[in-house]
Structure 1
Amino acid sequence: MSRHRKKKGRPVSGWIVLDKPHGMGSTDAVSKIKWLYGAEKAGHAGTLDPLASGMLPIALGEATKTVPYVQDGAKIYRFTVTWGQERTTDDLEGEVTKTSDLRPDEASIRALLPNYTGLIMQTPPQFSAIKIAGERAYDLARGGEAVEIPAREVEIGRFDLLEMPDANTTVFEIECGKGTYVRSLARDLGRDLGCYGHISFLRRTEVYPFTADDLVTLPEIEEAMASVPMIAPEPREGDERPRSPRPGPEQWKAMDTLVLDTGAALDSLPQVIVNDDSASRLRLGNPVIVRGRDAPAEAEEACAFARGQLVAIGAIEAGMFKPKRVFAG
């Protein structure tokens, strides 16, 4: 007789748009948020290196089904390139491999930026998560193995030079598509300018459809958690020391005010409003008639809402919404 394993965690769903601090890895950030919120499951929509800070959208519960829509969204990065050194990791963490006494002037840099705008071919860094013959490039690089990583197409919507604080550094901002490595931009710019370069500061400021107004910091989450006193858990037999208090229902109620609705990730899709009966049918996988004067008659992908809550993602064909992915009520 099969036994069903009880799910760990609570069924909280939505997005925490975390302002990830410098020095914390993306996986560590997700684990921290998952623990704080007592969530059944969690995931992020686009890795940020530990040396980078800024927007890391973290999906909780049902929102993990919408992660691909955020991963595909445009991203904005602000970063500083330090000239005169190329490093193994293309950022401050790596060892210096090449040096130059040359420093570029503003006109030379601006003249190159059009070459890095639009659809371009880019070779990811040696220290990246790209898989080569089934292994991560960074694992091979840490083992001292030089690997050939094929160039791939990425899209840079805009590439702006913001300021040159001194001869050694230049501050940029880019808007780019999925899969762009900012570290590679610094490396390639340095090579083209003949002076070498690496990233010395990197911050992701936006991931569409989220904006800076949606950002939440860990101290803000911890402040919401601390607004209600926590009760230490009962000791268990064999415990050598008291168990640390952890968030519970009262803390979660305060913390949940910082969670964005699951549907917030789907601003790019056409949206239709359905009644409770249609919502029930959609959640069972059945198609429903799309009603409403402004409702589209055809759409390859759309989402349906009832009472402000996401019900399903699907296609609209001949005025019928056909669910492909459904969400719990």
Structure 2
Amino acid sequence: MARKKKGRDISGWLVIDKPAGMTSTAVVNKVKWAFNANKAGHAGTLDPDATGVLAVALGEATKTVPYITDAMKAYEFTVTLGAATNTDDEEGQVIATSANRPTDDEIKEALFGFVGDIMQVPPKFSAVKIDGQRAYKLARDGEDVELAARPLFVEELLLVDRPDADHVVLEMTCGKGGYVRSIARDLGEKLGCHGHVQRLRRIWSGPFDAAEDGVTLEQIEERARTPELDEFLLPVEAGLDDMTEVTATPEGAVRLKNGNPGMVIASGVEYGEEVWASYEGKALAVGTFKSGNLHPVRVFNLD
């Protein structure tokens, strides 16, 4: 007999406004403890010194994590000009300096080269795996880390502030897998002045926004292990906001609950489109729409 997981069968999303100085895993563990949840995960790692949206999924919401991880995201970050570091952020050792300081117009012109479909080399101090080992572990051991360039879609990259000659504040909207530290590094190289990230904040991720949905860890700790804590939870369906919703028929709902294709009511949905089905107001399944039926790939148990 399989062992029953310890904790509550509780499902939903919690949008943590992550503080600097904590790993994403540490945040998830604190949330899991506070809710006494039997299952938790997050949608998209943030560097320890980064702040902002860390979407934490509990229970059945973990089945929707891939849709948030793959969604567009927005970051606001400050780049320090004039110095490159081995980690591409403030925590690393300075490896090159320059007295050159570009003008605002030169920066704006350079930013165009980072918009659209680009190729990006991840930082050496990153979680990318090389022959089964994390790049940051190899880099810490003094090994010469060579990482291959990866594709990234950048929808927008804007100069939003220039507080002084040595710093520039940028805002970027991009797809999955973007490294802000690489943008800062490569921008500095392109401008001939070097650069690294001083401050990084994820302001939204998919349907989740720090200003509208964000909850602090202090708020979580104040209500930990109390019924009031559940008031912070967003429904499982919140993780599916960017996907088209269809409605299962009563007969279709029964079939979908058992993992079989089921009839749905849909309007304006194309054949082969990925959608999610609801029944009586609750998420039932995610799958592919074909000829009036949803072919499920993930089924939720929210009864």
Normalising to structure 2: TM-score of the pair? 0.95
AA in 1 matched with 2:48: P
Give the structure 1 partner of residue 235 of structure 2. 261
How big is the shift at 1:14?
A: 0.9
Look up the match of 1:310.
283
2:230 counterpart letter in structure 1: D
1:289 Cα deviation (Å)? 1.9
Contact 1:297 1:318 in 2 (8 A): no
- The match for 1:270 among 244, 248, 260 is 244
Distance 2:27 2:292 in 1: 42
- 1:1-329 → structure 2 map (5 Å cutoff): 3-212=1-210, 213-225=212-224, 247=225, 251=226, 253-274=227-248, 278-291=252-265, 294=267, 296=269, 298-328=271-301, 329=303
Distance 2:2 2:149 in 1: 46
After superposition, the Cα gap between the structure-2 partners of 1:297 and 1:146, relative to the gap in structure 1 and judged at 3 Å, is: closer
CA distance in structure 2 between the aligned counterparts of 1:23 and 1:101, rounded to whole angstroms: 31
**Structure 1 segments unaligned to the other structure (5+ residues):** 226-246
Taking the aligned partners of 1:35 and 1:188, their CA distance within structure 2 comes to 40
Displacement of 1:59 after TM fit?
0.7
Conserved 8 A contact 2:16-2:56: yes
Letter matched to residue 248 of structure 2: V
Shift of 1:20: 0.4
Name the structure where strand makes up a greater proportion of residues.
2
C-alpha change, 1:101 and 1:291, in structure 2 (3 Å) is closer
**SS of 1:290 mapped into structure 2:** strand
Alpha-carbon shift at residue 287 of structure 1 (Å): 2.5
Aligned-pair distance for 1:277?
5.0
SS of aligned partner of 1:33: helix
User: Letter of the aligned partner of 2:58 in structure 1?
Assistant: L
Structure-2 separation of matches of 1:142 and 1:99: 22
How far the C-alpha of 1:220 sits from its partner, in A, is: 1.9
CA distance in 1, matches of 2:284, 2:247: 9
Q: Which amino acid aligns with 2:98?
A: S
**1:239 counterpart residue number:** none
- Structure 1 SS opposite 2:222: helix
C-alpha displacement of 1:106:
0.7
**Which one has more relative contact order, counting CA pairs under 8 Å at least 6 apart?**
2
Q: Is the 8 A contact 1:297 1:320 kept in 2?
A: no
- C-alpha separation in 2, matches of 1:172 and 1:295: 38
Whole-angstrom CA distance in 1 between matches of 2:268 and 2:147: 46
